[in-house]
Amino acid sequence: MIISDNIKYIGVNDREIDLFEGQYIVPNGMAYNSYAILDEKIAIMDTVDVHFTDAWLDNLAQALDGRSPDYLVVHHMEPDHSASIARFANAYPAAKIVASSKAFVMMKNFYGTDFADRQLVVGEGDTLALGNHTLTFVTAPMVHWPEVIVSYESTEKVLFSADAFGKFGTWDADEDWACEARRYYIGIVGKYGAQVQALLKKAAALDIQTICPLHGPVLTENLGYYIGLYNTWSSYGTESDGVVIAYTSIYGNTKKAVERLAELLRAGGCPKVTVNDLARCDMAEAVEDAFRYGKIVLATTTYNADIFPFMREFIHHLTERNFQNKTVGLIENGSWAPMAAKVMRTMLEKSKNLVFTDTTVKITSALNAESEAQLESLAKELCQA
Ligand code: FEO
């Protein structure tokens, strides 16, 4: 990946990983990005995951071409980026470690040292002159951890954005950016919309021509598109018109109701209907869809006087990420004491700006004329809303 004559990509692609951050499937792997700014002084931007330290040090040595780095800038302390700091520090003992004060505390906690004799603590607005290039640091707490800083290089107009604008997949994965960036963003940073909004406000004051994130490809064109999506996601806005249906089904009766509803919605002219079986789909994909569309239907069975476990987990994923601003329809099934709708409503009661449809569909084991009619009225409401 070529960025410019003086800014080199030295990151690595991870094609072996099974679960990113111990929970997200990444069919196209993951990139741990790192960059070298070569000037009178040399700054290295972040390190990589522990499994790739050797490959990264090789990339670094190649970029340095016999020179020695002056600074290692640590934007974020999560180990996918910080795990190779100690090896770097040993290999280049004259280099200073540049990070926020919170990052140095984490460094000591994670790796047993905060490099007290080589620290350069930076905060909001601090600058680091490298020669023709100058870095300005911008704090970005909770995007994705509290210690995060991003940096802006004003000569080439590059934003080193830490986890922001990253995605799942190796940097060269041939796939739609938005799909895996959305799943990544909602999964990992979704809870912190307000903090991302704060960062976007600061970024709006900068003339940015290139975004160098810690994951995924470097972004060089049409930056308004990516920034616009980040604005929608972080403000919990509706990205796509349509309805997402998330369901669980034990013997297929709730599934039948969901399929019927999807049919009715399509026939009613709903622009897009997406259906997720929560027991079988990638949960992160279903969560991403819930935030993407403006309307959602939750369909589940009553189970142990509660709801089916996959639905409970799903709603928890939503509420912990500040799920809000949606139209919500409910379908419950229960053979003797249906209470799933009540449980789901209670789980969502602290979520802001949810509008529940007037119709709640109640199935007592299998669809009948009454519940069929409720599905029709739910579809009507959702198509009109
Ligand atoms: Fe890519 Fe939050 O670490």
Is the predicted pLDDT of residue 385 greater than 90, yes or no?
A: no
Tokens 């071409």: give the residue.
65
Whether residues 38 and 156 share a domain: the answer is yes
pLDDT digits (tens, 9 = 90+) for 187-232: 999 999 999 999 999 999 999 999 999 999 999 999 999 999 999 9
Q: What type of residue is 318?
A: L
Same domain, 187 and 267: no
**Looking at the structure, do residues 229 and 304 belong to the same domain, yes or no?**
no
Give pLDDT tens digits for 321-333: 999 999 999 999 9
Judge if 280 and 222 occupy the same domain: no
Task: Answer yes or no: is the C-beta of 46 below 6 A from any ligand 1 atom.
Answer: no
Clarify whether residues 256 and 162 are in a common domain.
no
Burial class (CB in 10 A: 0-12, 13-18, 19+), 368: exposed
pLDDT at 2: 86
Atom number of ligand 1 nearest to Cα 78:
3
- Ligand 1 in reach of 96 Cβ (< 6 A): no
pLDDT band at 245 (very low <50, low <70, confident <90, very high): very high
77 and 121 assigned to the same domain: yes
Q: Answer yes or no: is 62 within a domain.
A: yes
Does any ligand 1 atom lie closer than 6 A to the CB of residue 167?
Answer: no
Write down which residue in 234, 268, 284 finishes a domain.
234
**pLDDT tens digits for 73-121?**
999 999 999 999 999 999 999 999 999 999 999 999 999 999 999 999 9
CA 160 to ligand 1 center in whole angstroms: 13
What is the distance, to the nearest Å, from the Cα of residue 229 to the centroid of all Cα atoms in its chain? 12
Instruction: Tell me: do 31 and 108 sit in the same domain.
Output: yes
Residue 257 lies in a domain: yes
Residue-wise pLDDT for 251-306, tens only, equals 999 999 999 999 999 999 999 999 999 999 999 999 999 999 999 999 999 999 99
Q: For residue 229, what is the domain's CATH number?
A: 3.60.15.10
How many residues make up the chain in this entry? 385
Which of 234, 257, 272 represents a domain boundary (last residue)? 234
205 and 139 inside one domain: yes
The pLDDT score that the predictor gives to residue 1 is: 84
pLDDT at 242 over 90: yes
**pLDDT band with cut points at 50, 70 and 90 for residue 307:** very high
Among protein residues, the one whose CA lies closest to atom 1 of ligand 1: 163
Residues 213 and 319 in one domain: no
pLDDT tens-digit series, residues 145-198? 999 999 999 999 999 999 999 999 999 999 999 999 999 999 999 999 999 999
Whether residue 39 lies inside any domain: the answer is: yes
Say if 1 falls within a structural domain.
Answer: no
Condensed to tens digits (0 to 9), the pLDDT of residues 124-140 reads 999 999 999 999 999 99
Residue 2 lies in a domain: no
* Of 234, 267, 300, the domain-final residue: 234
CA 74 to chain CA centroid, nearest Å: 20
Query: Could you tell me the distance, in angstroms and rounded to a whole number, from the CA of residue 10 to the centre of ligand 1?
Result: 17
| Model pTM score | 0.96
For position 373, which CATH number holds?
Answer: 3.40.50.360
pLDDT digits (tens, 9 = 90+) for 348-371: 999 999 999 999 999 999 999 999
Whether 326 is covered by a domain: the verdict is: yes
**What is the count of structural domains for the chain?**
2
pLDDT of residue 15: 97
Phi, psi (rounded to 5 degrees) for 261: -60, -45
Q: According to the model, what pLDDT value does residue 164 have?
A: 98
163 and 253 in a single domain? The answer is no
> Which amino acid is present at 32?
Y
**Does 53 share its domain with 200?**
yes
Rounded Cα gap, residues 375 and 356, in angstroms: 15
Domain region containing 114: 7-234
Pocket flag, ligand 1, residue 75 (CB < 6 Å) = no
Residue 224 lies in a domain: yes
Residue 179, in any domain of the structure = yes
Rounded CA separation 90/60 (Å): 14
- CA–CA distance, 214 with 235 (Å, rounded to integer): 22
**78 and 224 part of one domain:** yes
Farthest-apart Cα atoms in the chain, separation: 78
Please give the number of the atom of ligand 1 that sits closest to the Cα of 148. 2
